[in-house]
Amino acid sequence: MADTGTVEVEGKIVAVLPGTMFRVELSNKHQVLAHISGKLRKHFIKITVGDTVKMEMNPRDLEKARIVYRLRNASANRNAPIRSYGPRRR
């Protein structure tokens, strides 16, 4: 437990919604609505569909969560574009 009164859980991003909101599926197939924390916004951490994230939830409201950490996914293909800076000169 990171903070008093919160529960830490892990989930997988199912959908990206407008306004930095995400639909996240927990291991028990329960889906919650999550937003990203200020530290992730500050450091421009990108979160896409298929990422595994760590969240904090209030035990009184199990429909909402706050994403506090994006776990490293070695198997996830992020489809990063190949940068081209023009033809190479010799």
* pLDDT tens track for 31-71: 999 999 999 989 888 899 999 999 999 999 999 999 999 99
Residue tagged 């950490």 (tokens): 69
Q: How many CA atoms lie within 13 A of 65 on its CB side?
A: 27
How far apart (Å, rounded) are the C-alpha atoms in residues 26 and 62?
A: 11
- pTM for this prediction: 0.74
Q: What is the CATH code of the structural domain delimited by 7-70?
A: 2.40.50.140
